[in-house]
Amino acid sequence: MQSVEPWSEVRKMDVLGNYKSVISARSTDRDILKKAQDGGIITTLFAYALEEGIIDGAIVAGPGDEPWKPEPMVVTTKAELLAAAGTRYTISPNLSLIKEATRSYGLDRVGIVGTPCQIQAVRKAQVYPIGMRDVDDKIALALGIFCMENLSYQALEAMVEDHCNQKMESVTKMDIGKGKFTVYTERGAVAQMPLKLIHKYVQPGCNVCLDYVANLADISSGSVGSPDGWSTVFVRSTKGNTVWDGAIKAGFFETKPMDQVKPGLDLVKKLATDKITKNQKNVDARKTIGLKADGTPKGLRNPYESP
Amino acid sequence: MAEKITIGELHLSGCTGCLVTLADNYEGLFKLLDDYADLAYALTLVDVRHVPEMDVCLVEGSCCLDDKLSVEELKEARAKSKVLVAYGGCAAYGNITRFCRGGQWNQPGQEAYVPISEVVDVDLFLPSCPPCPQAVRNVAVMAFLLLRGNDEQKKLATAYLTPLMQLAQRGNEACGCDLMYDVINQGLCMGCGTCAGTCPVRAITMEYGKPNVNRDLCIKCGACYAQCPRSWFNFDVMNNYEGIMDAIRGAME
């Protein structure tokens, strides 16, 4: 039995999680950049991993049967990857395909992209594979995306159609940044709404989430911290490090040191701290939400304490 | 190498799928048996007729109250084991045997089946139908560390096994409805799709980002809730996922 690292040093992660390096980056692939939300990091990393045989396929948020409704799908080619590029601001239950990918598709090396909570689910599926047969050693690359909160499809529809007065099917891009939700059509950026108005639409499960930058991913990425068209990239695990180094050497990305870009890492840290502080308060408030007969507080279930 | 622990499998009203799952670790089973655990008792795998003393007893199947031998053997296994595990959906929650109303061939008189925790105290639940080979492997390695490891390893094993022990305290009723009652109704679901991916009978689909359970298909195995990252998520273990997975991989090499 090889020695386990000292358990007394239980890793207390800071708000940005453990990472080996952080850098600002952009894909060098023009086809990807045309379709990408920001720097095209996730699409390009999967394209590189497919090409190198690091993964046989990836679970991504592909196009669904309604406009801007993502459908989880298993992709095995760059063309399929491209069809799934870009952000859709609603839930894509990517974990629902994890056994489909490993068993029905028979993939031995699976890539998966997810929000921080979805990456938590991936790691739980690996460490406690209760109903996840033959999954644990087949997750070859778990890519995380920064996430403040998520919305149901119906909420996104309300924002686009009611608040912004645009038809879902005529929208060409949606973007969140600089405190605003912006809707683009073929005529350009046609409507905006302040982010504070969308709080009532956020799904409740997001209010107890204590992770902003996908702390448990192999590599995580998001626009925050980097200039327009670029993304901030955290390289976290040993596996992530190998993949990132390989992709850089192969010329898949151009990069800038994080301390030389605006607005920089401080903004990522600020938003992560804001989210986690707010949601930790929510988690704590749940403990005393109700009232027992003896006058002491009655709490709701806390997933961070017990099932 | 420390002395091995002893593991047994008591087979009650189950389909042998859980035992097959243990064997489905293939060469991993040999590694477990070579270095970490002796198989002290198991239907079909070990020629031992009577329930022996064991460190860990995996109980497969629910307990048929109409079968005196089942009740007696279960009590004996409890008395003779240090750690009693409800191994699989039937032992933990009744699973498919929850639907039995008697009249079946070839024991039509047997109709009362209960999760084993109705009859004995259970230390740890390992749900799903069947549980995964990797899950029982991890529990076996962690049980070895708990009983034979140094202080650090004992701490790790305790932290790892704690949620599975808490699951045993939560109750012995499971259903796809748990996703409604204990996740969505509690304001905790974020739509990751784990439950749908986990369900062994494909009873769960994701509709607009939330699970929809076809209750006619649900067999009450408990997999969806146990696998859900919002049933429990223990940061002390999960933040160290890389180290734990490396350690388990290392143990199995």
Closest CB to B133: pick one of A90, A126, A133: A133
Q: Which domain holds residue B228?
A: 177-233
Torsion of CA A288, A289, A290, A292, to 10 degrees: 0
Chain A CB within 8 Å of residue B26 CB: no
pLDDT in tens, chain B (253 residues): 689 999 999 999 999 999 999 999 999 999 999 999 999 999 888 999 999 999 999 999 999 999 999 999 999 999 999 999 999 999 999 999 999 999 999 999 999 999 999 999 999 999 999 999 999 999 999 999 999 999 999 999 999 999 999 999 999 999 999 999 999 999 999 999 999 999 999 999 999 999 999 999 999 999 999 999 999 999 999 999 999 999 999 999 9
Chain B CB within 8 Å of residue A125 CB: yes
Q: Do A117 and B192 touch (CB under 8 A)?
A: yes
pLDDT-based confidence at A178, cuts 50/70/90? confident
Cα–Cα distance measured from residue B90 to residue A121, given in angstroms and rounded to the nearest whole number = 25
Does B120 map to a domain?
yes
Structure tokens at B182: 């204990």
Same domain, B154 and B96: yes
Same domain, B149 and B207: no
pLDDT-based confidence at A114, cuts 50/70/90? very high
Locate the domains of chain A by residue range. 21-146+206-290, 151-201
Total structural domains within chain B: 2
Contacts with B153 from chain A: Cβ below 8 Å = 1, 4, 7
Concatenated DSSP letters of B236-252: HHHTTHHHHHHHHHHHT
Cα–Cα distance measured from residue A36 to residue B140, given in angstroms and rounded to the nearest whole number = 45
Does B199 map to a domain?
yes
Same domain, B164 and B191: no
- A34-50: average pLDDT: 96
Q: Do A209 and B190 touch (CB under 8 A)?
A: yes
Partner B, chain A 239-298, Cβ-Cβ below 8 Å: none
Report helix angle B241-251 to A116-127, nearest 10.
Answer: 20
pLDDT-based confidence at A286, cuts 50/70/90? very high
Cα–Cα distance measured from residue A81 to residue A236, given in angstroms and rounded to the nearest whole number = 23
pLDDT-based confidence at A195, cuts 50/70/90? very high
Same domain, B168 and B47: yes
- A249-276: average pLDDT: 97
Same domain, B62 and B150: yes
Q: What is the pLDDT of residue A189?
A: 87
pLDDT-based confidence at A10, cuts 50/70/90? very low
Q: Which helix (H) or strand (E) holds B90?
A: helix B89-93
What is the pTM for the complete model shown?
A: 0.96
pLDDT at residue A4 tops 70: no
Q: Tokens 């988690």 map to which residue?
A: A283
Q: Is pLDDT larger for residue A136 or for residue A10? A: A136
pLDDT at residue A8 tops 80: no
Partner A, chain B 234-253, Cβ-Cβ below 8 Å: 234-247, 249-251
Contacts with A94 from chain B: Cβ below 8 Å = 192-193
Architecture field, domain A151-201: Roll (3.10)
From the candidates B190, B199, B201, B246, which should be mutated to test the interface with A, based on the most A CB atoms within 10 A?
A: B190
Closest residue of chain A to B164, computed from CA coordinates: A307
Q: What is the pLDDT of residue B1?
A: 66
Q: Is pLDDT larger for residue A86 or for residue B223? A: B223
Same domain, B187 and B107: no
